[in-house]
Every structure is written in structure tokens, then in C-alpha cells.
Amino acid sequence: MRMENAPRLEIAKFPRNALCAVTTSWDDNDAANMEISHILRSMDLKGTFYVDPGNPRAKWAMGDGLTEFQLRELDATNEIGSHTWSHKNLRDCRVNVLREELAGSKRYLELTIGKPVLGIAYPWGEHSPEAQRVAQECGYLFARTVEEGCTEFPPSNSFAWGVSIQALARPRILSRKARKYVRYLTSDWPTLALKFFEKARRTNGVWHLFGHASEVLRDPVLKSRFLEICRYVANRDDVWYATNGMLFQLEMMKKNTQITQNCHDSRIDFTIRVAHTKERALLNMPLPLYLIIPRQWNNGLTVGITTSPSGAFEMGRLPGRIWLDISAQEAKLELEHE
């Protein structure tokens, strides 16, 4: 077989070669996060809940803070992230305070849920180059801001990652957020949310909704619009529904993946290896592989996959293409043309 006629194995942007990813995130130590979690789960959506455990009652909260049992329950179907220890504004903090706030919350949350905490959300989105550096030193993979309009992924700076839209009772016309609304000729956040969702689909990007649980649930109109938006983006075959952390885990997996191939007369073998990493959180993440089949191979093609003992795979076919989601440290793929 000539190499120019051999299939090309490409690493897809998202599992199942989805057009885009959808994620949500929720800030503060607020028991109302439990109701948001139930809403998301009913629509097969996922959320990352950024908790400040040393802040007993969040600004928006209608009730108490989260208990340790509730934190573990949230993490079972979603993700727990850090929102610092006590919700300090990090922009002007000294380095020792930054370390206390970022490392202290991470340590407590990890002991509570029994797994790594991958990301942090800066309170009010406020941060500094020093805060970014300390977040990285503390072992976070990423840090989230509240800057709206972001659909590109991966971001140019993982420690200043913005959101697509914030669910608000009313737009903050006098704030810096107003620029996005003016640009898109609307003062209605659900309209802007849908525009960004369609942009993410066009550009193979990420649609990221952010909010505060009690704020959304307290206002009947806001809650109704939130539910309407969730129903619109949910249950789509061409969308990958992920937590914030899953997006960054997958990027790290792809960066650590090597693919080699050997051509035979009527067969081509691919070996996929994911380099060992110190990050325990990367285990069992799906690696999306996208295979373009030569035109003359569209019929009479057999596919064989062997993964490492702990691995599994999911496969789908389209005309001239195959996608594979492999969850393994090593896998072998054999294509044979009859």
C-alpha cells in the first residue's frame, strides 16, 4: 500500500467528533447548588461547582452553605472546583495570602471528595499575573474568570479562561459586560446565549454558561429563561456535554498521545500510546480519534481494536469516516480492506 493512499488517523477535537462542547459552572458555597445539580442531571447536562469552603454563607445564597455530604453528592455526577478559601479578591493579595486562599481550599476540598480538584474560579473574576502563577504552582490545571463571549477552546491562557454567557436577572448595562450586548445588538442574555451557542457549533468551540444558583432560582422569570436555554442546548447527538475539568483533562491527554502506523499490502496498523503522567485525574479519560478512510476503502473494510486491560472503546461510522473514543493508556487499531 502506498502511504499517500493510507487512512489518516486524526485526534478529534471532542469525543464522537462532536461539533462543540457544552459546559456550565456555578460559583459560591451555596446549598442551592443542589437544586441546580438536579436540573442539570434531568437534562444530561454537567456542571462544575466552584466552592469557597471558608465562606459559610455566599452573597447570593438563600440558605446555608454546602455540607461535606452535599459536596460529595455534587461531585458524584458533576465536578467540584475551588473558589478560594474565603472569597477574597485576589487582584491585590500578597503572595502568602494567595497561597493560603488557593492551596487551602484545594487541600480541604480534595480531602472531602477524595479526588483532585482541577480548577479554580477567581471571585468576581478578579485576578493578577501573580494570582495566575500561584494557581499554577498550587497544582490547578486552569482558572476561570467571568469574562463573557468566550467560545474558543483551548484558551490562549488556561489561567484566564472566560465564559460564554452569565445567567443574569438583568444585563449590567453600566459594566464592562455591556460591550458584548452592544456588539450583538441585544440587551437580553438568553438571546446572546443562543448566538454564542451557534458560534460554538460553527467553530468547533465550547459553549459555557455561568451563574449563581440562588440568583437563578430566586427570580421566576430568570429561572424560566434558564430552563428554556438548557432545554435548547441539551440532548443533541453532535454535542459533547462535559464539566470544566473534563475539557482540560482531554487536552492534556491529547498532548501526551503518540500515534504510529505501519502499512501492509491490504492492512494498516495504528498504535496509540498515552504517555504516563503524574496527574491521577487523567486516568480513564476518553481519547477521541477521528479516522478518514480512503475513498476506495469505503466498502469491504474491517476494523479491529485491542486496548489495554483497563481500557474500553466506543465506535461510530459515517460515510468515509470512523470515530473512536478510546479510554486506555495504549490501544492498537487494525484496518483491513478485502
What is the pLDDT at residue 74? 97
pLDDT of residue 329: 85
Among 291, 296, 299, 295, smallest CA distance to 334 is for 291
Instruction: Please report the pLDDT score of residue 37 as a whole number.
Output: 98
- Give the per-residue pLDDT at 199: 96
> For residue 259, which of 208, 174, 326, 172 has the smallest C-alpha distance?
326
User: Where are the chain's structural domains?
Assistant: 3-13+253-337, 19-237
3-state secondary structure 160-201: CECCCEECCCCCCCCCCCHHHHHHCCCCCHHHHHHHHHHHHH
pLDDT of residue 282: 67
Mean pLDDT of each 10-residue bin along the chain, 338 residues long: 72 95 97 97 98 77 83 97 96 95 97 96 96 97 96 98 90 56 69 95 98 95 97 97 97 92 87 79 81 82 86 88 90 87
With contact defined as beta carbons under 8 Å apart, do 243 and 45 qualify? Answer: no
* Grid cell locating 112: 472531602
- The answer to whether the bond into 154 is cis (omega within 30° of 0) is yes
Identical fold between 3-13+253-337 and 19-237: no
Topology (CATH) of 19-237? TIM Barrel (3.20.20)
Confidence (pLDDT) at 174: 47
**Cα 168 to Cα 165: distance, rounded to the nearest angstrom:** 9
Alpha-carbon distances of 234 from 16, 47, 120, 197, 231, rounded to whole Å: 16, 13, 25, 11, 5
Q: Of the candidates 311, 285, 283, 281, which has an alpha carbon nearest to the alpha carbon of residue 114?
A: 281
Architecture of domain 3-13+253-337: Sandwich (2.60)
245 three-class SS? helix
